[in-house]
C-alpha cells in the first residue's frame, strides 16, 4: 500500500482538488491517505474525510509537527509527502512509488511545475532565475511532493523535528545518494508565487 501524508493548514479551497485527482483512478486499498489539518479554522478536515482520507487534526499550527503526526499514523511504503495545494494524479503517484521500489533508491520527486499566469513580471523573472540555480535543480525542496522508501524514511526520521519536509529532504539526502528526479512527471502548483514580488518569501514562511 502506498501511504500519502498531507499536512494542511486552512486548505479547504484546495484539498478536495488534490484528493480528487490523486484518487480518480485508484484501486481499492491502493492508497492510505493521511491528512493532518493543523491549526485549521475552516472545513479542511470535513472535506478530506469526504474523500475517504484518514484525518488526524491537531491544534498545533506547524507543518513539521503535522508531518510527524501524519507519519506516525501512516501504514505503508513507499510513502509520499504532499503539500495540499499541489495536483498529483493517480498515474504520477504510481510512477513515484514504482521508482521508490527500485532497490537502493531512497527518495524520489517530480519536476517542479508552477502556474503563474496571473503573477507579475517581477515574480516570473524571479522564478525563472531561481529554477536555473544548481542547488534548486538538484534539491528536492520546493516541489510540493517528496517520496521515500523505507530506507529513505529512516534518514528523514533521524533529523531534528523542527525541520519541515522541504528542509529535511534537502539535508537528508546527499548528491551522491540514489535519489530519482522524475522529469517526465510534474506536481502542478497553482500560482505558488502569487501576484506580488514578495509573495515567494511569504510562501516559504508559511511552509515552516
Q: What is the pLDDT of residues 7-22, one digit of tens each?
A: 999 999 999 999 999 9
Instruction: Identify which of 171, 166, 136 has the alpha carbon closest to the alpha carbon of residue 155.
Output: 171
CATH among 3.30.70.100, 3.40.50.970, 3.40.50.720, 3.90.550.10 for 2-206 = 3.90.550.10
The answer to whether 196 and 120 are in contact (CB under 8 A) is yes
Scanning the structure block, which residue is given the C-alpha cell 491549526?
39
What are the residue ranges spanned by the domains of the chain?
2-206
Q: What is the pLDDT of residues 66-111, one digit of tens each?
A: 999 999 999 999 999 999 999 999 999 999 999 999 998 888 888 7
> Residue 183's pLDDT band (boundaries 50, 70, 90)?
low
The CA distance from 206 to 66, in Å, is 13
Detail the DSSP E strand segments found in 73-119.
79-82, 86-87, 107-115
Pairing, β 79-82 against β 145-148: antiparallel
Amino acid at each position: 500500500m502506498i501511504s500519502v501524508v498531507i499536512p494542511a493548514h486552512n486548505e479547504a479551497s484546495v484539498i478536495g482538488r488534490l484528493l480528487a485527482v490523486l484518487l480518480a483512478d485508484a484501486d481499492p486499498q491502493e492508497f492510505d491517505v493521511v491528512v493532518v489539518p493543523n491549526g485549521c479554522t475552516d472545513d479542511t478536515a470535513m472535506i478530506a474525510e469526504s474523500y475517504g482520507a484518514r484525518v488526524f487534526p491537531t491544534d498545533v499550527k506547524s507543518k513539521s509537527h503535522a508531518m510527524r503526526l501524519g507519519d506516525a499514523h501512516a501504514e505503508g511504503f513507499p510513502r509520499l509527502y504532499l503539500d495540499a495545494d499541489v495536483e498529483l494524479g493517480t498515474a504520477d503517484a504510481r510512477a513515484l512509488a514504482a521508482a521508490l521500489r527500485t532497490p537502493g533508491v531512497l527518495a524520489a520527486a517530480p519536476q517542479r511545475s508552477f502556474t503563474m499566469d496571473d503573477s507579475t513580471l517581477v515574480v516570473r523573472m524571479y522564478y525563472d532565475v531561481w529554477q536555473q540555480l544548481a542547488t534548486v535543480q538538484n534539491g528536492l525542496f520546493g516541489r510540493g511532493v517528496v517520496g521515500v522508501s523505507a530506507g529513505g524514511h529512516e534518514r528523514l526520521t533521524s533529523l531534528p523535528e523542527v525541520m519541515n519536509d522541504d528542509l529535511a529532504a534537502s539535508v537528508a539526502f546527499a548528491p551522491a545518494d540514489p535519489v530519482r528526479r522524475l522529469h517526465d512527471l510534474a506536481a502542478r502548483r497553482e500560482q505558488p508565487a502569487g501576484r506580488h514580488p514578495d509573495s515567494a518569501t511569504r510562501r516559504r514562511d508559511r511552509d515552516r
